[in-house]
């Protein structure tokens, strides 16, 4: 099973080459801070010494640490990732079939396009795995917010933290238990900027 590992921005692949989209960063860069938010708001796990160490040293979390934490919440997490990886491999196979059935471009262009897809296959799979880890963490945060009726999450201001709070807010805004949220930038008592997710 693949562990999370940094890849890079989203690739755009065609018969002309491999390009990377600005603004489509790898979800890997958000995993450690998202785990910190998860453990910080969880009243049950944050009492345990092991998880307190994870919170205090979230910058030093390894890929195995992230996996072990998620398995504590979701015992079947490992199998779920394996299944999703297989589904994404089928998605890549379907991408190749679409290129093969393209009647607009030449055979040589098809061959180049397919070769480019195969070159980037492992990259694309790893990027999808990272995204799945991130989605699971955000959903777990959402579940705890509902379970414990959390009304506010505060975090230091930076763009990565903003992205995480936006992901949480987005997840809270749809589904059966959808709630309204707002993200505000404010100053704390020491005049440091903080992000505040307010949940109605």
Lowest mean pLDDT among 1-10, 52-61, 132-141: 52-61
When pLDDT is cut at 50, 70 and 90, the band that residue 44 belongs to is: confident
Contact present, 198 and 151 (Cβ < 8 Å): yes
b/e map of 118-144 (b: 16 or more CB within 10 Å)? eebbeebbbbbbbbbbbebbbebbbeb
DSSP 52-91: HHHHHTGGG--HHHHHHHHHHH-TTHHHHHHHHHHHHHHH
What Cα–Cα distance (Å) separates residue 175 from each residue in 154, 171, 180?
A: 24, 8, 12
Q: pLDDT higher for 171 or 1?
A: 171
Which pLDDT score is estimated for 58? 62
How many whole angstroms separate alpha carbon 145 and alpha carbon 139? 10
Lowest mean pLDDT among 66-70, 138-142, 175-179: 175-179
Please, which residues have CB within 8 angstroms of residue 171's CB and are 6 or more apart in sequence?
138, 139, 141, 142
Which pLDDT score is estimated for 40? 87
Q: In 10 A of CB 66, how many CB atoms?
A: 20
Kindly tell me if the per-residue pLDDT of 197 is higher than 90. Answer: yes
Please, which residues have CB within 8 angstroms of residue 132's CB and are 6 or more apart in sequence?
80, 81, 84
Which pLDDT score is estimated for 48? 63
Which pLDDT score is estimated for 1? 72
**H or E stretch covering 169:** helix 159-172
pLDDT digits (tens, 9 = 90+) for 98-127: 999 999 999 999 999 999 999 999 999 999
Which pLDDT score is estimated for 142? 95
Say if residue 37 is exposed, middle or buried (CB neighbours under 10 Å; 0-12, 13-18, 19+). buried
If we measure between CA atoms, which residue out of 183, 123, 134 comes closest to residue 32? Answer: 134
Kindly tell me if the per-residue pLDDT of 49 is higher than 60. Answer: no
When pLDDT is cut at 50, 70 and 90, the band that residue 54 belongs to is: low
Bridge-based pairing of strands 11-14 and 17-20 is: antiparallel
Return the structure tokens found at 83: 């299944």
- Mean pLDDT in residue range 30-56: 77
pTM: 0.91
């Amino acid at each position: 099973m693949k562990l999370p590992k940094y890849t890079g921005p989203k690739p755009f692949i065609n018969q002309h080459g491999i390009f990377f989209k600005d603004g489509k960063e790898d979800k890997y860069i958000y995993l450690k801070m998202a785990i910190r938010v998860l453990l910080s708001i969880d009243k049950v796990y944050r009492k345990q010494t092991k998880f307190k160490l994870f919170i205090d040293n979230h910058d030093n979390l390894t890929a195995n640490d992230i996996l072990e934490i998620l398995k504590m919440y979701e015992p079947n997490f490992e199998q779920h990732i394996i299944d999703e990886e297989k589904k994404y491999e089928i998605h890549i196979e379907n991408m190749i079939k679409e290129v093969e059935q393209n009647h607009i471009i030449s055979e040589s262009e098809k061959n180049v396009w397919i070769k480019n897809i195969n070159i980037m296959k492992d990259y694309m799979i790893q990027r999808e795995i990272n995204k799945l880890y991130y989605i699971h963490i955000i959903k777990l945060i959402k579940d705890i917010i509902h379970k414990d009726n959390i009304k506010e999450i505060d975090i230091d201001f930076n763009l990565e933290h903003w992205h995480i709070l936006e992901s949480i807010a987005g997840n809270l805004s749809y589904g059966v238990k959808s709630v309204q949220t707002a993200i505000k930038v404010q100053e704390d008592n020491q005049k440091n900027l903080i992000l505040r997710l307010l949940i109605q």
